[in-house]
Chains A and B, each alone.
Chain A
Amino acid sequence: MKEIKIALVGQPNVGKSHLINSISGATLHVGNFSGVTVEKKEVEFERNGYNLKLIDLPGTYSLHPYTPEEKVTKDFLLNEEYDLILNVIDSNQIEKNLIFSFQVADLNKPMVIAFNMYDEYSRGGGEIDTDKFFKLINIMAQNVSAKEKFGLEELFNKVIKTYEGKNTPRVYYSEIIEEEIENVKEKIKEVKFDKRFTAIRLLEEDEDIYKLVHEKPWYIDLVSQLQESKKVIRNEYDNDDVKEIFFEERLALSKGIVTQIAKKAKKETLSEKIDKILIHPILGLPIFLFVMWAIFQLTFDVGAIPANYIGAGFSAFGEWVGGLLPNGLVKESLVNGVIPAVGAVVMFLPNILILFLGINLLEQTGYMARAAYVMDGVLKKFGLQGRAFIPLVSGFGCSVPAYMAARTLKNPKDRLITMLVIGFMSCGARLPIYILLVSAFFAPAIQGDVMFAIYIGGALTGLIVAKILRVVLFKGEPEPFVMELPKYRFPRLKAILFDLWVKTKMFLKKAGTFIAISAFTIWFLSSFPRENIVKEYSVKIEQVKSVDKKAALEEEMNQKILENSYIAHIGKAIEPIFRPLDLGWREDVSLLAGLAAKETVVSTMAVLYGAGNADETSKSLIEKIRNAMPFTAAVAMIIIVMFYSPCVAAMSTFYAEVPQMVWKIFYTIYPNVFAYIAAFIAVSLIKIFS
């Protein structure tokens, strides 16, 4: 069957992904665009003997890209193979949307336009004459509603017709500009793009195209014509900026066409009315904080319920596997290492899904943009952007979704600064460590205050570090904040559920691969070498009769294995480094284990202090560490946990999201240095004042 490969483009908030979800009989694949972590959705379906393959490109305001996502779209349109461009437009904003359509039309590829949200538009009394539109600029168009599922089949018929007829757009600018386009076009010899397109982009000062022709032998000839043509245009329009002239040209064209083809709808006022309350100058901030608080309540309270079942499920699964496999290393590594560790991570899936559901709802209803508007003033003081609030707050739950939520930040610098401080927002997995240490070393009356201080202190430090990063490493102008506030809309359940399903699949895949491997590694390092110890103890164990004594000896053996394990060697090797902080090798090892997962800090301490399977509430462990650790060591440990590197799952997410090696290395080192120095200062201060 013949395949038609279709690039799906449009400005943000035009309902592109909604349109994809509304196609019946379609299969969807989700992946990444090569080299970047921008999500790539592909939809395939059959119509009239063709296999239609839609590639959903990131929403783009312009072919002069501003954000990394917009660059992805431009690169795809310029460099990839495809048969046709399907441009989705919000009928309520035709004028603004068409400006982008004309830029795309310049590519001279077969193109079809979908006037989406036509249901809303026609209810307001609007009409669009697509036949006339076709006559004017030779682009077949269809009024559709992804929401009410009309017009879609007609749209695909037009796609096929356009493909079969190789029908390309005919968008012409005013005479003076067309003349200069012709003049420049004549100087262009062989080039991989359409010559007219190349001429237009050169006049518009598109660097990408400029680089392309720069090496050509006919470049010198071209460049003088280009200068000449630009001069003519500049003089004619009395404006030095040719890019702006082209923009105004397209806007004028767009307005002209709209008056000919469209009857305008009445202005929708609902959004304005809602905004009167939600982004009220005084009420806006408290309302926003309440919304966030509610989402976090749900995330932790409701998320904890299935989390417990998942935990129980994994331990049952571990036992079942243990019963199934013969004794040996495979069984031991699975039952003691991999399964509980993967379980400890998967337990967070409900929390993550609820958090994402909340964030998704905020995004889809259009409230997220308002939240950014409301928070922008506060975060600006710390060199951050309004939108940074969402990933930062998510960081209190788990750094993994927080790093992913940072994608909502369009600017790479803002995104990087935000991601570099997310780790300072104490994630849920660090809570048991704080509880253990605080209850061992602080008076019951002030324990609550200490916990609160830990969380607030971490967050404030994060904001201050963000400011420092902005001033020291990301010098220059603060990033501009210009953002469309889309209309409020009802969320679409199907799209949200699908999104959550995709998130779940990706999360489980990661848990099953990366986390499983790292858990295996930690288990191995803490269980070997042990041959001699096992030999010694197996004799002893055989000699004693009582079951209790056998168990006690076994416990002792495990303790010895751990103390002689590779990980203990590492702990003892690094002990001198941590000695200024009064930390012993057991704490060092626990902190190291915490790099695999913060959950393991408490359990490692328990094992190393020989407290058996103690958890954070265990009296014996609290007493043991109270006797073994000085107060300064406890403070040092709390501070280190607050600031040092998050777990490997979070780190690998960061590595996946940030392509530059420099920042990966910086991210790996600086939190640890910071944590060490902060802990050292705290310990020194305590010693001075006591």
Chain B
Amino acid sequence: MKLNELKIGESGIIKKIYAKEPLKSKLLSMGFARGEKVKVLKHTLAKNTFDVDINGVNVALREEEAKEIKVERKNNERN
């Protein structure tokens, strides 16, 4: 599944970054790397823009960019 398919409060482990350069480098430098845990903190009403936590860093990104990140949902995640 893709990052934009996670619900608010859900976490996932990043499996792959589909994005092409230069967006890929940008995402990598923000911490979106394979194996990292990402949590959806919030999204706007229309699910246009997402606010996610990656390794303690708060990052806003659009649905288009979230689609470029493949994740595997982590179950029973509460914190």
Interface residues of A (CB under 8 A from B): 61-62, 64, 66, 92-93, 95-96, 99-100, 241, 243-244, 247-248, 251, 267, 271-272, 275, 279, 281-282, 284, 369, 372-374, 376-377, 380, 386, 478, 480-487
- Complex Cα distance, B36 from A272, in Å, reads 20
Q: Contacting B57 at CB < 8 Å: which of A93, A377, A386? A: A93
A to B CB contacts below 8 Å, 28 in the list: A62-B28, A62-B29, A66-B25, A66-B29, A93-B57, A96-B31, A99-B29, A100-B29, A243-B24, A267-B56, A275-B41, A275-B51, A281-B42, A282-B45, A372-B60, A373-B51, A376-B44, A376-B60, A376-B62, A377-B46, A377-B49, A478-B64, A480-B23, A480-B65, A482-B27, A482-B30, A484-B57, A487-B58
Min distance, Cβ B73 to any Cβ of chain A, angstroms: 21
- B58–A95 CB distance below 8 A: no
- A480–B26 CB distance below 8 A: yes
Residues of A within 8 A of B24 (CB): 241, 243-244
Number of A-B contacts (CB under 8 A): 117
Q: Contacting A248 at CB < 8 Å: which of B33, B56, B62? A: B33
- A480–B62 CB distance below 8 A: yes
User: In the complex, what residue of chain B is closest to A370 when comparing beta carbons?
Assistant: B60
- B29–A93 CB distance below 8 A: no
Residues of B within 8 A of A372 (CB): 60
- Complex Cα distance, B43 from A282, in Å, reads 11
- B46–A482 CB distance below 8 A: no
- Extra contacts besides A243-B25, A244-B24, A281-B44 (15): CB < 8 Å: A64-B29, A66-B25, A95-B55, A100-B29, A244-B28, A247-B33, A281-B42, A369-B60, A376-B48, A376-B60, A376-B62, A380-B48, A480-B65, A481-B65, A482-B65
User: In the complex, what residue of chain B is closest to A268 when comparing beta carbons?
Assistant: B56
Residues of B within 8 A of A (CB-CB), count? 36
Known contacts A373-B49, A478-B64: A484-B42 contact under CB 8 Å: no
Min distance, Cβ A241 to any Cβ of chain B, angstroms: 8
- A279–B64 CB distance below 8 A: no
- Complex Cα distance, B29 from A66, in Å, reads 10
In this assembly, does B40 line the interface, its C-beta being within 8 Å of a C-beta of chain A? no
In this assembly, does B1 line the interface, its C-beta being within 8 Å of a C-beta of chain A? no
- B49–A66 CB distance below 8 A: no
Residues of B within 8 A of A92 (CB): 56
- A279–B42 CB distance below 8 A: yes
- B60–A481 CB distance below 8 A: yes
- A93–B56 CB distance below 8 A: yes
Residues of B within 8 A of A66 (CB): 22, 25-26, 29
Known contacts A244-B17, A247-B33: A482-B26 contact under CB 8 Å: yes
In this assembly, does B59 line the interface, its C-beta being within 8 Å of a C-beta of chain A? yes
In this assembly, does B34 line the interface, its C-beta being within 8 Å of a C-beta of chain A? yes
Can you list the 4 inter-chain pairs with the closest CB atoms, starting with the nearest?
A62-B29, A377-B48, A61-B29, A485-B58
- B55–A96 CB distance below 8 A: yes
Known contacts A64-B25, A64-B29: A483-B60 contact under CB 8 Å: yes
Min distance, Cβ B13 to any Cβ of chain A, angstroms: 14
Min distance, Cβ B37 to any Cβ of chain A, angstroms: 12
Residues of A within 8 A of B46 (CB): 377
- Complex Cα distance, B44 from A481, in Å, reads 14
Residues of A within 8 A of B33 (CB): 244, 247-248, 251
Residues of B within 8 A of A267 (CB): 56
Min distance, Cβ B28 to any Cβ of chain A, angstroms: 5
Residues of A within 8 A of B21 (CB): 243
Known contacts A248-B34, A281-B45, A380-B48: A61-B59 contact under CB 8 Å: no
